[in-house]
Structures are given as structure tokens and as C-alpha cells.
Amino acid sequence: MQNFKMKFFLLLVTLTACAATPQDLTGKMFTFPQQTNSAHVRLTTSRQDFSAVTVCHRSFTDLKRDHILFSMSTLSFSNDFLIFWDNTNKEIEPHIRDRKVEYGGRDYKLNMWHSICFTWDSGSGLVQMWFDGQPSVRKFIISGTNITGPSIIILGQEQDSHGGGFDIKQSFIGMMSDVHMWNYILSPCEIQKYVDELSFTPGNVLNWGALEFQIRDRVLIENKQMTCQ
């Protein structure tokens, strides 16, 4: 038991020490195994000033409460680009620059992987969700403003302040994989390729195949394969 703890500790230390070096997480997932108000992964990008954004990820949970799926804050807005599950209304909510819209009527089933992509363009101000490859209505959220300044991107916890203000009741428990972010809008065909796990252009802001990140507390990197194939 002590030996295991020590190995686990050394693994954490190694991962933290390697944070600056991008890692190829192809075939891997982050496992968030425990409800806390601290465990999270902080993703690093040098890019700033976004006039358009696409974010895609896959996640798997059995949470029957509100939870965060993606939290990006800047100094100006703690919800500068955020994806949130509202369990009361059964809606997936994108937030951009602290504004939000709601997407209901999707079969966000527990205990299975879902691919969720969001696009937003500051010119039109329209946001769109691709849930398991199915496009949503295009809704107006906010236009004529860019997401500017240094950002903090966090998986596993929702930021109420820049880099903090975590609420245990909004934390994510489960697995997350294939997180990509682009500073432009992906075409429907590119999104379909992502959903089908075919070859696609990886994110130029966040790239799962070359991810810079830091793990805080108990989040594990594990192989994504969970069934016999």
C-alpha cells in the first residue's frame, strides 16, 4: 500500500514536472474519479484574441446533477467560453463572454461517451452545438467582441473567478478525452471526421495529440479502451 502510494506520488510529481512539454494523449483519457472542489486539469495555450472558436471533446459520466464540461476564463470574464450541463432543465449551455444560451432536447445519456462540439463566430455572434455529430439550431449569443487576454482553461472544475472559485456541486466526475480547440469554425465535414474518429486537422489552440497541461490532485491519465475489442 505504501509502495503504491509512493508510486502514485512519483507519477504525479513526474506529470507536474513535465507540464511544459506537450504530451501526445492519443488513445488516452483523463479520469476524474472523485467528487472534490480541487481536482482539475489546467490546459495551456499561448494563443490569445479569438474572433471565432471551435471546441470539441468527448466525455463519459453518470452525474445526475449540474456539471462543468469545459471552463475557460479571462481576466474580464470568468465564463469567457464555458460548456455546462444544467441538470434541472436538462440543457447543455454554452456561455461566451458571460452570456449563455440553452440547448435542450438532446439525449445526454449517462454511462456512455458523447462527442460535443461548439462553434462561435464573433462576426455573426452565432453559436452552434454538434451533439454526437448532430447539428443544433444556430443561436445568437454575442457578437462584435473577441475573447481577449490571457486565458485559463480548466477541465473538471468550473471557474467562478480567474483560475479558481470552484464549486464541488459543479465538478465533473467521469472520463474526458479528445479535447481540441481551434481559433476558427470547423466545417460540418471536419466536425463529422472528428466525431467518427477519422483523420482531422487537430486543434491549433488545444491539441490532444500535443497537449500542454498540469494536473492538480487526483486526476489520472489512463487508456481509453474500456471494453474488449
Ligand X SMILES: *[C@@H]1O[C@H](CO)[C@@H](O)[C@H](O)[C@H]1NC(C)=O
User: Which residues contribute to the site for ligand X (CB under 6 A)?
Assistant: 49, 51, 144-146
Half-sphere exposure of 173 (CA within 13 A, CB side): 15
What's the min distance (Å) between Cβ of 72 and ligand X?
16
User: Which residue from 141, 135, 133, 71 is spatially nearest to 99, judged by alpha carbons?
Assistant: 141
Name the residue nearer to ligand X (CB basis): 49 or 197. 49
How many C-beta neighbours within 10 Å does residue 41 have? Answer: 22
Under a CB-based contact definition with an 8 Å cutoff, are residues 153 and 41 in contact? Answer: no
What's the min distance (Å) between Cβ of 205 and ligand X?
13
What's the min distance (Å) between Cβ of 55 and ligand X?
17
Name the residue nearer to ligand X (CB basis): 149 or 164. 149
Residue with cell 479520469: 31
Under a CB-based contact definition with an 8 Å cutoff, are residues 153 and 43 in contact? Answer: yes
In the list Ca ion, ligand X, none, the entry touching 76 (Cβ below 5 to 8 angstroms by class) is: none
User: Which residue from 70, 12, 11 is spatially nearest to 217, judged by alpha carbons?
Assistant: 12
3-state DSSP call for residue 23? strand
Q: Which positions from 167 through 206 interact with Ca ion, judged by CB under 5 A?
A: 167, 170
How many C-beta neighbours within 10 Å does residue 120 have? Answer: 24
CA distance 36 to 153: 18
In the list ligand X, Ca ion, none, the entry touching 98 (Cβ below 5 to 8 angstroms by class) is: none
Name the residue nearer to ligand X (CB basis): 122 or 177. 122
Name the residue nearer to ligand X (CB basis): 134 or 146. 146
In the list ligand X, Ca ion, none, the entry touching 124 (Cβ below 5 to 8 angstroms by class) is: none
Name the residue nearer to ligand X (CB basis): 67 or 97. 97
What's the min distance (Å) between Cβ of 144 and ligand X?
6
What's the min distance (Å) between Cβ of 158 and Ca ion?
4
What letter would DSSP give residue 97?
Answer: T
Q: Which positions from 54 through 113 interact with Ca ion, judged by CB under 5 A?
A: none
What letter would DSSP give residue 211?
Answer: B
User: Which residue from 127, 64, 51 is spatially nearest to 95, judged by alpha carbons?
Assistant: 127
Name the residue nearer to ligand X (CB basis): 49 or 196. 49
Q: Which positions from 132 through 171 interact with Ca ion, judged by CB under 5 A?
A: 158, 160, 167, 170
What's the min distance (Å) between Cβ of 51 and ligand X?
4
